[in-house]
Amino acid sequence: MKAVALTLTFLSAAHAFAPINPTHVTTTSVNHGLQMTSSTTNTEEISRRTALTQFLASTAFLTAAVPSIASAADYVPNYRDMKQIYGLGVTLDSLKTKVSDPDLFETALDGIRQYNRDKGFYPGYARNFISKSVKNNADGDDRVGYIRAASAVITSLEGLLDGSEGLRGKDASKEAGLRVGKAQSLIAKFIKGSGVTGEEKLDAFVKAHP
């Protein structure tokens, strides 16, 4: 598997989905639908594929790297290769804050709808990470299943918040908060089973989302 490097710039919550500044992207391959051109500026592609994390308001920079390895037996899981998953889990705190207020449902929906345009991104990212240490059927690994399930939970929020499920106001808010919490617990299970050690922030996230 060839290396893919992607630098993601996160916006503050107050800006919701305001366009981000053009991001410089360098890549050597096409991976799981991420279409990038070497040494070019591609704001539209980056913003589309990272819409939820931009919306959920982190001011940190995340760099996702998927290096090639000689074999699964040679690979030692490390934070650098899975921190996008951690970043998603942390930024869901901001989404939980928004769905707790029915007056902010429409703002939250903007982010969820954009997330749903490429809802396979995080499961694909998780599969890439797990495939480094699993020789066969990484797609069927339980840990990938956790992220697939978490993504499905996030996706389901669209119908809940737009009223399609029949809940309104505080009832919808309560249910939305529970779903965001469930997604974070699933992400925590992935992190706990990732094999990455020595990262206090990962340990803290897992502890906070049993």
- Tens digit of pLDDT for each residue in 19-66? 334 344 444 434 433 333 334 445 555 455 555 555 554 333 333 344
**What is the spatial distance between Cα 98 and Cα 91, in angstroms, rounded to a whole number?**
12
Tens of pLDDT, residues 100-140: 999 999 999 999 999 999 999 999 999 999 999 998 899 99
pLDDT at position 74, please? Answer: 86
**HSE of 166, CA atoms in CB hemisphere, 13 A:** 0
> What are the distances in angstroms from CA 132 to CA 2, 15, 147?
12, 36, 16
pLDDT at position 135, please? Answer: 85
**What is the spatial distance between Cα 58 and Cα 54, in angstroms, rounded to a whole number?**
7
**What is the spatial distance between Cα 57 and Cα 185, in angstroms, rounded to a whole number?**
20
What does pTM read for this prediction? 0.69
